[in-house]
Each structure stands twice: as C-alpha cells, then as structure tokens.
Amino acid sequence: MSKSRRQFLAATSLGVLGAAAAFHSHAQNPSDLPPGAPPAFGTGPAVGPEVSPIAFAEAEKLMQVELTETERTMAAGSWRKTMAALYERRTGPRKIALDAALAPASRWNPVLPGLKAGPTQDRFLRSNTDPGPLPTNDADIAFASLTRLSRWIEQRKLTSERLTNIYLKRI
C-alpha cells in the first residue's frame, strides 16, 4: 500500500526532529569527559584574558581581513571559550623547568645500556671477487657494476681515460 506525499513528509519530519533531539541529549558535557580527553570545540572552560571588539579591529589591520561589527562582537565574546585555551596550550602558565642534562624526547638509541654497537674502527674491505674478462663492447663496459670496473682498473685491464671516453660517447 503506497503512502501519500503528506504522510511521507510528516513521517520524515518527525524522524529528523527525533534524531536532532537524540543528538542534543547526547551532547558533550566537559565535566563528563575522562581525564585527558580533548573537549569539543568551544565547550572548555573560559580561560585567558577578556578581549574586546576593539582588539579584533586592531588585529584585522595586522591580518589584512575585514570583519563586520557583529562578527567582531561575536569573536570577542567567544574568544575565551574557543581560542584562548589553544593559546594557553602554546604559551600557558604550566611551564616545567627541565634539567639541562635531560635527554631530548626524540632521541632513539636501540643499543642497550652498557653494550657497544658496530665496529670499533672505520675500516673498508673490498671483496675478492673476480670481475671476469674485460668486455670488448663499450656498452657492456659502460653498464658494468662499479665493483667490476674498479677491479679492471686495478688489474690494469682498463684505464680511467678509456672509461671516461666510453661515458662521454654515451652522453
């Protein structure tokens, strides 16, 4: 059985009103939050200095924006609940004196205390792999690995001048 348009609109309107009422009844109350939970925007306690609409008018000049008189009044009235808490978090009165010898929080050292990690001295050892015969094709030489090139130069099968010429031809 189909519903009429009037019945549909009435049922839909009642559903929307019911959802809005349920949402309003579950609105966040700052006193109900567990410690450390971030409050919803504008629901925190009022902190910071009182700000007048004149202060916002002066700030407009610095920020190169224009507000209407009602916008300035609204911004000044809501400043202490919406923005001052963020300002206090940056500069706030809760400063802790940290010891100069305290390590920074971003320092990460995977080695357990009392143990040493890595070699005791810097030492570079090349592998003893045989590079094989020197290719006759310049393209094969140009695309050979650096370890093979270095061994061919060390064994005097290849000169650095010839290698330079090979690379210059490829450019």
On whether the CB atoms of residues 76 and 36 are closer than 8 A, the answer is no
Answer for the pair 44, 85: CB distance below 8 angstroms, yes or no: yes
Neighbouring CB atoms inside 10 A of 131's CB total 18
Residue 48: how many CB atoms within 10 A of its CB?
Answer: 15
152 by Cβ neighbours in 10 Å (0-12 / 13-18 / 19+) ranks as buried
pLDDT of residue 128: 83
Per-residue pLDDT reduced to its tens digit, 99-109: 888 877 777 77
Q: Which residues of 69-88 are buried (b: 16+ CB within 10 A; e: fewer)?
A: eeebeebbeebbbebbbeee
77 against 97, higher pLDDT: 77
pLDDT in tens, 35-84: 666 667 777 677 777 889 999 899 899 888 899 999 999 988 888 888 76
Mean pLDDT of 118-130: 80
34-48, 82-96, 121-135: least confidently modelled range: 82-96
86: amino acid identity, one letter? L
Instruction: Please indicate whether residue 54 or residue 26 has the higher confidence score (pLDDT).
Output: 54
Q: Are 75 and 67 in contact (CB under 8 A)?
A: yes
Q: What is the pLDDT of residue 113?
A: 82
